[in-house]
Structure 1
């Protein structure tokens, strides 16, 4: 049996690229996705489609009620989704408090259960979102916590490695890498508004469109008229 990898699979472009990278490495894929009562729940349908594309044996979907915490435009409908502001450098209102800390904790637990030695997360700090839980310092700190906290590490020295293959790539470089690996980008969704057609004006859509332009490739998903 080859190595196993847990992939945090949101249904978006970056996590889909991580799936493609782990698949190309010959690892057995165990995606994990979350219904955290997010505004754009269509991404769960996208995650299921991506998982099916790779014929995974198991796709774990966790229900966690992060709208009870609130504080984000992605979990609180009273906070407007920003648009046309993808170049901002402060922490945007689309930041979900401690989301990656929580998601990685679930992913490491899942990795222990299925015997995986890798956990992939599509964080990126070049086309910087402003999210503090996407920074290299956070990933390094979480790796230390996982090393100290897991039975896999304590009992048999089986380290679960947090993999961040997109950390230092631009969005265009990420897309080119995924394209080389035949990542099924047509199945992905990025729009914060969560409609059947991407709006083309929210921060996430703008970053995605800019990335495809940088890569010199056509984005295969539908957008509102004239946006791509």
Structure 2
């Protein structure tokens, strides 16, 4: 199955790229510059493509991203600290981001005669991001079946959509993912901050997976209190 992977340079999408390379035919990585807070993650996506020996394309949609206001990832709004599943993390929602990116990716896949577009949405995203849920994935596939009818058949491959980030770490390790060469932190500093939602989720995932975390965090122990605090709130 000739597959294009949407790759941000983060742990999930780089692990997915390695999975596709091991199990299918990886023909390229596709990244998007939508005016996000930093471009650092795109360098990690490029490095992944180089390691796997495939083309890396970056699609510039900054003119669109400039209009998707109100998110901590695109505006001058502080990135919240804490567990990903807290209400405050909704500040990191970029409206309709996945639908926009996937529509472009499917167009490229059809033009390049690819069989599938792979995306690394996972079960841990469901609370915060509506465009990462199984219902969205199925609805988008149904829509593309209509959009490309008679021209191309492209599968939306989302193997992680019902599993946890810890499961992704386990799968990534199985496929030789170089976790130290992935970037998750929303703040884009010299090191992972260890405090934002995606850093907390990353650190927790390695712990639950029972795999050593090679990430260099500014605050490596913040995740313990953040996850414990969230668990306590869940019990109430």
Secondary structure, counterpart of 1:100 in structure 2: helix
**SS at 2:48's partner residue?**
helix
Please state if 1:29 is matched with 2:27: yes
Aligned to 2:70: 71
Q: Which runs of 5+ in 2 are unaligned?
A: 223-236
| Residue 206 of structure 2: aligned partner | 212
- 1:121-132 alignment, distance < 5 Å: 121-126=119-124, 128-132=126-130
Tell me if the contact between 2:13 and 2:120 (Cα under 8 Å) persists in the aligned partners.
Answer: yes
Alpha-carbon distance between aligned partners in 2 of 1:227 and 1:46, rounded to the nearest angstrom: 24
Give CA-to-partner distance per residue, 1:21-61, whole Å, 9 cap, x none. 111113133110011110032111111111111010x2110
Partner of 1:8: 6
Task: Name the SS of the counterpart of 2:14 in structure 1.
Answer: helix
Whether contact under 8 Å (1:35, 1:61) holds in the other structure is yes
Q: How far has the Cα of 1:69 moved from its partner?
A: 2.3
Partner residue, 1:133: 131
- RMSD, matched Cα: 1.7
Q: 1:50 to 1:181 in 2, by over 3 A?
A: same
* 2:196 is the counterpart of 1:202: yes
- Number of matched residues? 220
Q: 1:89 to 1:154 in 2, by over 3 A?
A: farther
Give the Cα separation in 2 of the matches to 1:34 and 1:46. Answer: 13
Higher mean C-alpha deviation, range 166-175 or range 88-97: 88-97
Higher helix proportion (structure 1 or 2): 2
Aligned residue number for residue 105 of structure 2 = 107
Q: Distance in 2 between matches of 1:218 and 1:149?
A: 44
TM-score, normalised to structure 1, is 0.91
1:188 lines up with 2:182 in the alignment:
yes
Structure 1: gaps of 5 or more residues: none
